[in-house]
């Protein structure tokens, strides 16, 4: 039963590659957007889970709702998710500080923004969901520390998709229709958030290649070639796991 974790740098086209691999292999696609929306439907706050004893029941509800949803989102949602998060941060700075949009963007670029800080309880719920999805098999887990949570588990393929900063900024410009300065800020902010998330909660460097079985640079490699590499690697890992 194929299980793949994908870590991707913003603008590397990693979400699109992961979604296409999930289509090819018939995997359920799971990322932060999907997990957070399902958590909200079950009354689980992204910031706080009120009672430890409620986790088992909440996990059952989360898994039930995930099972009732389509296996794949209609499109890879990275750009929409990242844009919404960025606009939320800008909006909060405008509302709370009376800043102009330009000033809010400048504040973010100099490190004065608002940090996304999910609670430990919520992270434990996310961990439980990832472990349960992996146990069920046929899962594509994008982000959320899947490469650490499932590290060492047999039959799991860990992939990182990356590209040079300039390549990623260009991709964001083309995809989101923004100018270089804002695109560069979005890429840099995403890098800092993801690095901080992994360092704070898992004490790892998310760019450490030892966390992954396959690292793909999309500077010059077409997306369809990257998809094929992952598909073949996943099949090889599955075959080796069965043979063992």
pLDDT at 226: 96
Domains of the chain: 3-243 (3.40.50.300)
pLDDT at 239: 85
Assigned token pair, 5: 């974790």
Q: What pLDDT digit, counting tens, does each position of 163-221 carry?
A: 999 999 999 998 888 899 989 988 998 888 888 888 888 889 999 999 999 999 999 99
Q: Tell me the β-bridge partners of 141.
A: 5, 30
**How far, in Å, are 29, 84, 151, 176, 214 from residue 81 at the CA level?**
15, 5, 26, 12, 25
Report, as an integer, the average pLDDT of 80-96. 64
Q: Tell which residue, 162, 140, 131, 145, has the closest CA to residue 197.
A: 145
At 207 the three-state DSSP class reads coil
pLDDT at 241: 80
High-pLDDT (> 90) share of the chain, %: 36
Residue 133 pLDDT > 90: no
Q: What's the CA gap between 11 and 162, in Å, rounded?
A: 8
pLDDT at 48: 45
Straight-line distance from the first to the last Cα atom of the chain, in angstroms, rounded to the nearest whole number: 14
pLDDT at 113: 40
Residue matched to tokens 């929409």: 80
**Mean pLDDT (the chain, rounded):** 77
High-pLDDT (> 70) share of the chain, %: 67
Which secondary structure element, helix H or strand E, spans residue 229, and what is its range?
helix 223-243
Residue 136 pLDDT > 60: yes
Q: What's the CA gap between 21 and 228, in Å, rounded?
A: 8
DSSP 108-175: HHTT-SPPP---HHHHHHHHHHHHHHHHH--EEEESTTHHHHTTT-TTEEEEEEE--HHHHHHHHHHH
The pair phi, psi for residue 72, each rounded to 5°, is -125, 140
Sequence-distant (≥ 6) Cβ neighbours of residue 146 within 8 angstroms: 5, 6, 7, 130, 158
What is the band of 130 on the pLDDT scale with cuts at 50, 70, 90? confident
């Amino acid at each position: 039963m194929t299980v793949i974790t994908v870590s991707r740098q913003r603008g590397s086209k990693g979400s699109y590659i992961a979604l296409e691999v999930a289509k090819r292999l018939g995997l359920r696609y799971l990322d932060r957007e999907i997990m957070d929306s399902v958590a909200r439907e079950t009354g689980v706050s992204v910031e706080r889970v009120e009672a430890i004893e409620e986790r088992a029941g909440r996990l059952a509800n989360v898994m039930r709702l995930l099972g009732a949803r389509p296996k794949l989102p209609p499109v890879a949602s990275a750009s929409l998710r990242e844009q919404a998060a960025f606009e939320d941060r800008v909006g909060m700075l405008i509302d709370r500080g009376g800043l102009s949009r330009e000033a809010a963007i400048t504040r973010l670029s100099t490190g004065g923004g608002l940090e996304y800080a999910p609670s430990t309880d919520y992270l434990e719920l996310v961990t439980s969901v990832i472990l349960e999805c992996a146990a069920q098999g046929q899962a594509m887990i994008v982000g959320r520390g899947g490469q650490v949570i499932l590290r060492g588990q047999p039959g799991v393929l860990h992939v990182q998709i990356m590209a040079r900063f300039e390549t990623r900024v260009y991709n964001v410009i083309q995809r989101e229709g923004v100018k270089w300065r804002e695109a560069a800020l979005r890429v840099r902010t995403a890098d800092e958030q993801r690095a901080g998330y992994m360092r704070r909660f898992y004490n790892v460097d998310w760019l450490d290649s030892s966390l992954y079985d396959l690292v793909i640079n999309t500077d010059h490699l077409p997306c369809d070639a990257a998809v094929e590499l992952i598909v073949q690697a996943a099949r090889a890992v599955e075959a080796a796991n069965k043979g063992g």
